[in-house]
Amino acid sequence: MRSLSVAVLLALSTTACVPDEGPSMRPGEDCLSCHDGDRGPKWSVAGTVFGDPQAAATGGVLAAQVLITDATGRNLTLTTNEVGNFYTAEDLTFPIRVEVQKDGKRMAMSDSPPVGSCNYCHSPQPPEGEDDVPGRLFVPDSTATASVAHPRPQASYK
């Protein structure tokens, strides 16, 4: 029985959120699945910016800016950390408009996401039925402003 308990605890420790991991935790994972106010601090928008749509989890980009405009016209700029993570607990009114920029290169989402869990859809293998997602959230590789369509995630978040 004790070995079963240890096995269960080990399994939970590899999948559950650990608030003490800090701002560099789990790049590329669905942040709001844990940062819902119960298991971790509640964030309104969170994700990871990468160098390209199929980047490894270690391919996050430092100092990219995520520009957010909410439905009321409020503007917010988030800057990625050393692993590419960004997040905020600011109270935003959805839907929001999102752009990512770095070094004069900017990409805007053509549709407004209804929730702020960026990595839910933006992953190397987007959720089933979301074939138009270009993979990970990334900084464009040309100086032209690009626009990317955004699917509507089916998940609901608090």
Q: What domains sit in the chain, N to C, each tagged with a CATH number? A: 26-148 (2.60.40)
User: Is the C-alpha dihedral spanning 121, 84, 39, 157 positive or negative?
Assistant: negative
Q: Can you point out the beta strands (E) in the chain?
A: 45-48, 65-69, 75-79, 85-88, 97-102, 105-109, 146-148
67 pLDDT tier (thresholds 50, 70, 90):
very high
156 within 8 A of 116, measured Cβ to Cβ: no
How many residues comprise the chain?
158
What pLDDT score was predicted for residue 12?
39
Contacts of 16 (CB under 8 A, 6+ apart): 34, 39
Distance CA 120, CA 118 (A): 5
Average pLDDT over residues 151-156: 37
Instruction: Give the integer Cα–Cα distance in Å for 129 and 32.
Output: 20
| Least confident window among 37-41, 65-69, 144-148 | 144-148
pLDDT band of 13, cuts 50, 70, 90: very low
Query: Model-level pTM?
Result: 0.76
* Predicted local confidence at residue 43, as pLDDT: 93
The predicted model gives 19-27 an average pLDDT of 80
CB-count exposure of residue 26 (10 Å: 0-12, 13-18, 19+):
middle
